[in-house]
Structure 1
Amino acid sequence: MAGKLTAPQGTGVLLVTANVGSLFEDPVNLQKTWLREFYQAVQSHKPHFLAVHCQEVGGKNYAESMSHVDSFVKELLSSDAMKEYSRARIYLDENYKSQEHFTALGSFYFIHESLKNIHQFDFKAKKFKKVVGKETCSETLENTPTLEKEKFPQDYFPESKWSRKGFIRTRWALADCAFDLVNIHLFHDASNLVAWEKSPSVYSGTRQKALGYVLDRITDQRYEKVPYFVFGDFNFRLDSKQVIESLCSTATMQTVRAADTNEVDKLIFRESDNDRKVILQLEKKLFNYVNQDVFRENNGTSLLEFDKELSVFKDRLHELEISFPPSYPYSEDSSQGKQYMNTRCPAWCDRILMSPSARELVLKPENEERSTVYDNIGPNVCMGDHKPVFLSFRITAGAGKCCQRGENIFREAPL
């Protein structure tokens, strides 16, 4: 494997984003399958540099799941599948007692033994340092110089008192190119009924505000500007009002109100004829549509017209074409690999986005088309409620010229 990895076509990079909350709710059934599929992806793409951004590390009951997190990390570091990755950096936000800082994010970086020259940026010293050995950092990541971490302010999403949403940023230099990798977790839709009320939804606006904040933060004047990749659980949803109007275009709607408050409790969409068959039942945490195949046929791509949240950032963020089904919410039943839960409208929550200059890196003309792949992991098996999403590409020698003041970045690096 090492011989193959030093082939002249450039440095192989594999970026993966995975909301792993389910793995810690049911580690016995889910973790082994998840790791097997993950290792297969690594062996298939053989990256020199592997970055895995995880959200909801530890699941909902973090205090009880800590031991499962430790065993998950140990397994990753010691497995046969990863033995040729001689250097690693693992950052786990484990300080769940600190409500003002805790994000439950985990960022994992693995470097293949054949990659000789890789550096990581120290944000405090403002210079690159060579990466050697394997290190795991947890607890107070706020004081770790090789990353920036922030939790979004409480007033961004006042509905969720215990929100753990935020981001972690690291910066790397390889193949004469520097770039930022940002692990992100944005706010979810708290209620299907509220999401349906207007287009775009109130939740869409909240995510837009938080993502704008992150982009402003990572491109401000404090550090050299470099290409960046932002990948994580964006919680992007299809435009609820528009997708329901499309799915239920010939239906009549019945509104059911709660007896005590008179607030809307559920919406029932029925066919006008055909014995008034129920097409969709919508409640706060129920999205029960009659035919899930619509989300799977042609990988659900006919619904991409309702995936609009990224359009606001079209000048700042790019994405390769999506050709995989919505990544959430899959059934957590280990025997139901392709089934969606009837809790939310399926959506492409898990994404890998990039700045215009990062897109140039990924789509360099000399890159063979087939060497760039944007897809999901474990399409046919249960990976938890989210399917991990990956981007595999190669950075060719000289690619760093797309960085602003390219060579200057590396003058600080002790080689």
Structure 2
Amino acid sequence: MSVVIRQPGAVLTDHLFQVPLDHTAPNGEQIEVYAREVVAAGKERAELPWLLFLQGGPGGKSPRPLGRDSWLDRALDDYRVLLLDQRGTGRSTPATRQTLPLRGSAAEQAEYLSFFRADSIVRDAELIRRQLLGEQGQWSLLGQSFGGFCTLTYLSLAPEGLREALVTGGLAGLRSSAADVYRAAYPRVSRKNAGHYARYPQDVEAVRRIVEHLAASPAELPGGGLLTVPAFQSLGMLLGAGGGSDTLHYLLEDAWVRGSAGLELSDSFLAGAQAKLSFADGPLYAVLHESIYGQRSVDPGSTGWAAQRVLAEFPEYDAARALEEGTPVRFTGEMIYPWMFETDPALRPLQETAHLLAERTDWPDLYAPAVLAGNQVPVVAAVYHDDMYVDTADSLATADAVRGLRTWVTNEWEHDGLRVSGGKVLDRLIRMVRGQL
């Protein structure tokens, strides 16, 4: 029996679905996928169109609503919303350091996780759509970031299930390999670094001082992780979000405390770094991150830790060199590196599994360019100018490749505009897809 919860302005209903691990073997092993239905209070029995929300990630669980908060406030005016915990996340059958060893060897774990990409997520959604709406029912789709990547896969594999699609910060390059993605990403991250240091010039010296300390003595984090120089640099992940530069600055200004042995990194700084760096709440983000770019028709080889390989082409990110030359130390961005599976306790047991996925070749294609070129589904997308996480040039090229796709290019918001705009981003996209703009 479904659990129903009432929050201010909203009614929430739990749904749990059995889906095949491998959709090509529908009678084989089954896993659970959880979804939360959200409807405006007073509209529980209304005939409302459904809006499926696909979260960013990969490996991100759906938002946990607090009534009509964030973009949901706008969505609930018009839709019955389904917040999907994509397979392996949240209340769906979990895939973590605690559960994956139950699968057996690292090779068996890697094989299992090969079914956790966008194609499987879309097929889960289609099975759920048919159960909730009937065979001929259609729903609207809202994809944020990686959820936008999944939207392109949905338009490629099962467009008949969609009445319209809205994408925020998630138009992937249809023909971009993992190496292509990172080769374009590092210069964008450099621009975000420059913007941060222009806003907070005092952070140039603050960062250099922390890096000098960590180079001599990596710090233990409260959760048992290790804060090394590369781990500290990866806090640059923050720079792609609205307010992220400010968050980073406030973390840095709290870095030092005078203890019995003299100046040392403060507990509050280390706890703050731990909160930003740990993958305990979403290990699949790290384990599967590069595999979301694997497509045999683009690159039949492995992704091969592309972020680490491509980093060698950008020596300006070498912290030791920056210290020697007296230049600002650059933070990295949304990159996953093999050393993370050594420094993060949530990832250490998955190190061999992650290596096997990085070495895997011949990933099935996720997009069908010919189908997208003949697309009949109304699609609109917010493309954030100089988005740190998704390349704007790739996004615009993809927009040109999907028939009828309309874009709104804006520098008013960063990558998290959907979440922080108070519904303004979603409202504009809804008006666009209805032809009101």
TM-score higher than 0.5: no
TM-score normalized by the length of structure 1:
0.28
Greater helix share, 1 or 2? 2
Report the TM-score when normalising by structure 2: 0.27
